[in-house]
Amino acid sequence: MIQCQNVWFSYDGITSVLKDITLKIKDGDFVGIMGENGAGKTTLVKLFNGLLKPAKGEIFINDQNVISLSVAELSRIIGFVFQNADHQIFSRTVAEEIGFILKNFKYEESKIQAEVERILQQFDLVRYREQSPFLLSGGERKRVALASILCAHPEILILDEPTIGQDAIEKKKLIELLRSLNENGVTVIIITHDIEFTVEYLPRCILMSNGILVADGPTKYILANEKILKEASLIEPQLVHLCHLLNFESAVLSIEEMKTRILEYLGGAS
């Protein structure tokens, strides 16, 4: 579980990037963090894994204050997948990249090889085993970066803009994988600008703006609330926009519910 209590952060000691953030992410949550560029989303999650330390306030991971934990200790609990895979990968081959974290954790070689093979199979990367990850396509490098983190079985998985550059098929494969991990107890946190992806797949949404927590709750409520979206400088989802065009009294975020509403609307019009 992640708990933030009145957290503030500044890079230069003058301008606050995060302002009095208090929130709780429970074990097994599946949550999206949204907001405009500069809202503080990535800064917040870097506080979770110890890459940054709060200026004021406290953050607890599994009831332990992050101040008392090293980045190495936190890396055994939290897996972080960067927005740009090239900022994460560095090994000579795909197999070495995936197995690096286990070597760093001092796993036995037989265990490392077994886990690497399992992950190569799971991510359809077997044919790239001996290739340099830097010679792969952007989507393939993203898969390698994610695979290298999941090899260590983190309790909490954080992904920064994982859908950028991904087509609909790749997004569906990603969400299927993340749902499977979540169903097996992994807490999943996704930083994203992809509002349609959030609407369709993420049950909880945290909205940030200018370093402030604007809203936190069920996605179907938050992303259908025009006032909240405006405060967070977000464009409303397409289904919500359609509801406004059709003058529906309330917005919906489910395609099936929208079908029902439209059929009712057409029936009433006739």
Q: Looking at residues 67-88, what average pLDDT do you find?
A: 90
Of the pLDDT bands very low, low, confident and very high (cuts 50, 70, 90), residue 183 is very high
Q: Looking at residues 234-243, what average pLDDT do you find?
A: 81
Q: Looking at residues 217-228, what average pLDDT do you find?
A: 88
* Beta carbons of 56 and 6 less than 8 angstroms apart: yes
Residue-level pLDDT at 258: 77
Residue-level pLDDT at 235: 82
Query: Residues 72, 110, 93, 85: what is their CA dihedral angle, to the nearest 10 degrees?
Result: -40
Q: Looking at residues 130-148, what average pLDDT do you find?
A: 89
178 in helix, strand or coil?
A: helix
The DSSP annotation for 135-165 comes to GS-HHHHHHHHHHHHHTT--SEEEEESTTTT
**Listed range (12-16, 159-163, 220-224, 258-262) with the worst mean pLDDT:** 258-262
Q: Looking at residues 121-140, what average pLDDT do you find?
A: 89
* Residues paired with 191 in a beta bridge: 33, 160
Strands 30-34 and 2-9: unpaired
- Own/partner contacts of 197-201, CB < 8 Å, gap of 24 or more, are 197/163, 197/171, 198/32, 198/34, 198/223, 199/223, 199/237, 199/239, 199/253, 201/175
Q: Looking at residues 139-153, what average pLDDT do you find?
A: 89
Q: How many CB atoms lie within 10 A of CB 12?
A: 7
Residue-level pLDDT at 171: 86
Residue-level pLDDT at 39: 92
pLDDT in tens, 99-123: 998 998 888 999 999 999 999 998 8
The separation between the first and the last C-alpha atoms of the chain, rounded to the nearest angstrom, is 53
The beta-strand segments (E) located in the chain are 2-9, 18-25, 30-34, 56-61, 64-65, 78-81, 156-160, 187-191, 204-209, 212-218
DSSP 31: E
Q: Looking at residues 200-208, what average pLDDT do you find?
A: 93
Distances (CA, A) of 207 to 192, 230, 238, 249: 10, 11, 18, 24
Q: Which residue has the tokens 């439209």?
A: 262
Q: Looking at residues 173-197, what average pLDDT do you find?
A: 92
**Listed range (2-16, 103-117, 255-269) with the worst mean pLDDT:** 255-269
| Structural domains of the chain, with CATH | 2-219 (3.40.50.300)
pLDDT above 90 (res 79): yes
d(CA 20, CA 5): 8
Q: How many CB atoms lie within 10 A of CB 270?
A: 5
**Listed range (4-8, 65-69, 233-237) with the worst mean pLDDT:** 233-237
* Beta carbons of 146 and 94 less than 8 angstroms apart: no
Q: Please, what is the average pLDDT of the chain?
A: 89
Q: How many CB atoms lie within 10 A of CB 216?
A: 17
Q: How many CB atoms lie within 10 A of CB 189?
A: 24
Q: Looking at residues 127-154, what average pLDDT do you find?
A: 90
**Listed range (30-34, 205-209, 228-232) with the worst mean pLDDT:** 228-232
pLDDT above 60 (res 270): no
